[in-house]
Amino acid sequence: MNLKFDEQMLCGTCVEPGKFDLTTVDMPSNAPAGWVLLDIQAVGICGTDYHIFEGKHPYLNYPRVIGHELSGRVVNDVNGWKQGDLVVVNPYISCGKCHACLRLKPNCCSNIQVLGVHRDGGLCARLAVPLTNIYAATGLSEIEAAMVEFLAIGAHAVRRSSVCNIDRVLVTGAGPIGLGTALFARLTGAEVHLLDVSETRLELISQKFNFKNIHVVGADLLIGDLADGFDVVFDATGYAKAMEAGFGYVAHGGQYIFVSVVKDKITFDDGEFHKREMSIIGSRNALKEDFDTVVLAIKNKQIDTSALASEILSLTEMKTRFGELVNDRETLIKAIVKL
């Protein structure tokens, strides 16, 4: 891209594992054809950002400006967008040419570039993104719009499944992605259960979002009324052993959806898999339809965004607070940086 620059701006940058700092770069003043300049308004901090800080992300080179859960305002009138329009950013930049893209599945583009991971993200004042990657956030606040992306991942996973109102659902992993998955599974009318290693986190989610069926890892779930297992199981743990254990929770004829991803090899008992005629489904990122689903759910007050936002802080505060946020995930649902 041939961008022009005028002034400078601060960026929240993971310089190397364990080191987060505010760096100064030139602020873009134009965008090429097909792209749009956005003044970033709010940025959600997520597990990916924490993994980058911890040096655990497998696909990243340092230094990296983080931030992919973004809301922004259009800088200049372009292609039907007006200056000041509030938008949600889809951070998955696809190539448009590979097999997946040609089959209208850009979320699993073979050449995907994710903002804040493969290329610099939006924890900064201004960012250029493709026009195809912005969606209207009319009726949402800037903070709410920054929460759409992570919720869209859960909405996409639920849409990939066949969850309906007669189903029993188990979501393993009660982090933000697992919580989002559980919230959208519950909107189908299904009976939703949550499983996590942290009793503290489960109690927090139970209180804030009125989930009654919570289970700590180690408890025997498959007893009594649940002896037949769950019709749909979603894994949002990001741990290979937990993903393998999840096979045992799937009922005969049930589905197992992997929302989280790991580099490890996952093994399972083929006899049990076939006996149950189980379906395994991978769910990656999200599509425009999922973003639209989330925006509508927030507008209709089906999602309590005030309960999701644990803390709102400034970019300058991030320099001293980021390490604390990394270590406070048990009681933190979503931290938002307001630009």
**One domain, residues 188 and 95:** no
Q: Does residue 1 have a pLDDT over 60?
A: no
- Mean pLDDT, rounded, for 55-59: 78
- Could you report the per-residue pLDDT of 112-157, keeping only the tens digit for each? 999 999 999 999 999 999 999 999 999 999 999 999 999 999 999 9
Does position 250 have pLDDT exceeding 80, yes or no? yes
Position 66 in a domain: yes
Domain that holds residue 269: 154-282
Residue 45 falls inside a structural domain: yes
Same domain, residue pair 138 and 166? no
Residue 180 lies in a domain: yes
Please give the structure tokens belonging to residue 234: 């979603």
pLDDT tens-digit series, residues 253-289 = 999 999 998 888 999 999 999 999 999 999 999 999 9
218 vs 52, which has greater pLDDT? Answer: 52
Confidence of residue 7 (pLDDT cuts 50, 70, 90): confident
Same-domain pairing of 209 and 276? yes
Position 289 in a domain: no
Please check whether residues 253 and 318 belong to one and the same domain: no
SS3 state at 325 = helix
Residues 99 and 170 occupy one common structural domain: no
Percentage of residues of the chain with pLDDT beyond 90: 87
Cis check: omega of the bond before 63, within 30 degrees of 0: yes
Give the integer Cα–Cα distance in Å for 23 and 15: 9
Both tokens assigned to 69: 């859960």
Q: Are strands 213-216 and 191-196 parallel, antiparallel or unpaired?
A: parallel
**pLDDT range class, residue 6, cuts 50, 70, 90:** low
For residue 221, pLDDT beyond 70: no
Predicted pLDDT at 225: 60
Length of the chain: 339
pLDDT score at 261: 86
Average pLDDT of the residues in 208-237 = 83
Are 104 and 165 in a shared domain?
A: no
Q: Is residue 294 part of a domain?
A: no
Distance CA 34, CA 227 (A): 54
Contacts of 81 (CB under 8 A, 6+ apart): 36, 74, 87, 131, 134
User: Is the model's pLDDT at 2 over the cut of 70?
Assistant: no
196-228: b or e for each residue (b if 16 or more CB lie within 10 Å)? bbbeebbebbeeebebebbbebeeebeeeebee
pLDDT tens-digit readout, 71-118: 999 999 999 999 999 999 999 999 999 999 999 999 999 999 999 999
One domain, residues 314 and 262:
no
Cross-strand bridge partners of residue 171: 194, 234
CATH number of the domain that 139 lies in? 3.90.180.10
Residue 18 CA to residue 53 CA, distance in Å, equals 5
Is residue 298, in this structure, part of any structural domain at all? Answer: no
Give the C-alpha separation, 215 to 194, whole Å: 6
Residue 22 covered by a domain: yes
Across the chain, what does the average pLDDT equal? 93
Same domain, 91 and 159: no
- Write down the pLDDT at residue 235: 97
Same domain, 82 and 114: yes
**CATH (domain of 163):** 3.40.50.720
Whether the per-residue pLDDT at 219 is higher than 90: the answer is no
220 lies in some domain: yes
| Number of domain units in the chain | 2
Domain co-membership, 49 together with 105: yes
Please tell me whether residues 169 and 215 are part of one structural domain: yes
Question: Residues 141, 29: one domain?
Answer: yes
